[in-house]
């Protein structure tokens, strides 16, 4: 009997600690738990390059919200700055595919098109992105590896030029940790 009391006395604090941790973990997952937006810093940057031609022109000044995605979800059509190993400066692109989207590549007579959730992916001018063999090969690896579904915290990012830019067609899908911030559209 004394042995049972000792075991119960020992187990009771352990069970209580586990219960408290579970309650705390559940509280952390609630939508009401928000990281303060004070971590967001604004910085003006001059766009160099024409990959977003028609949306943001080379030489325009944009405002980057660094740290924005520390407390916010990445949304389709967000314009973002992200770190890319092949570039000293961050790249600016549009999020075209988000976590959970289905994607596949479809061969046409003059190249390959990208389908997101069964719809042809198009730029702001309603032109479908058309990939050459090299760009197709890059994305086809992701299509095969992930069975045509964009993984959690991973995104397909594109420029606004239908023929392609230095985007996911060159370096593949990007992870949320590579995203530096959200771009506020310049005032025109």
Is residue 56 over pLDDT 60?
yes
Residue 16 above 60 pLDDT? Answer: no
Average pLDDT score over residue span 7-14: 61
pTM: 0.78
The average confidence (pLDDT) of the chain is 86
Q: Do residues 76 and 94 touch, judged by C-beta distance below 8 A? A: no
Question: In the chain, how long is the greatest CA-to-CA distance?
Answer: 82
From the CB of residue 115, how many other CB atoms can be counted at a distance below 10 Å?
16
Task: Answer yes or no: is pLDDT of 23 > 50.
Answer: yes
Residue 34 pLDDT level (bands cut at 50, 70, 90) = very low
Per-residue pLDDT reduced to its tens digit, 81-104: 999 887 788 999 999 999 999 999
Return d(Cα 156, Cα 102) in angstroms, integer. 11
Nearest CA-CA partner of 74 in 184, 175, 187, 188: 175
DSSP line for 95-137: EEE-TT-BEEEEEETTEEEEEETTEE-B-TTSPBPEE-HHHHH
* pLDDT score, position 156: 97
Answer whether residue 8 shows pLDDT above 80. Answer: no
Q: Class for domain 75-180, per CATH?
A: mainly beta
**Domain spans of the chain?**
1-33, 75-180
**Position 1 confidence tier, pLDDT thresholds 50, 70, 90:** low
How is the beta sheet containing 79-82 ordered, strand by strand? 41-46, 61-66, 179-184, 79-82, 91-97, 154-158, 174-175
**Enclosing H/E stretch for 186:** none
- Report pLDDT for 35: 45
């Amino acid at each position: 009997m004394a042995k049972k009391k000792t075991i119960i006395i020992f187990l009771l604090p352990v069970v209580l600690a586990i219960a408290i941790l579970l309650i705390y973990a559940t509280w952390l997952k609630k939508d009401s738990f928000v990281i303060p937006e004070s971590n967001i810093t604004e910085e003006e940057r001059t766009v160099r390059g024409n990959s977003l031609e028609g949306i943001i022109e080379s030489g325009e000044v944009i405002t980057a919200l660094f740290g924005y995605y520390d407390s916010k979800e990445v949304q389709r059509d967000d314009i973002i700055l992200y770190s890319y190993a092949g570039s000293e400066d961050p790249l600016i692109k549009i999020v075209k595919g988000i976590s959970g989207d289905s994607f596949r590549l479809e061969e046409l007579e003059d190249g390959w098109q990208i389908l997101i959730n069964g719809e042809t992916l198009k730029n702001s001018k309603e032109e479908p992105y058309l990939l050459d063999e090299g760009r197709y090969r890059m994305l086809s690896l992701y299509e095969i590896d992930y069975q045509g579904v964009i993984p959690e915290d991973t995104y397909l990012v594109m420029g606004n030029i239908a023929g392609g830019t230095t985007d996911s067609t060159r370096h593949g899908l990007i992870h949320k940790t590579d995203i530096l911030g959200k771009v506020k559209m310049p005032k025109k």
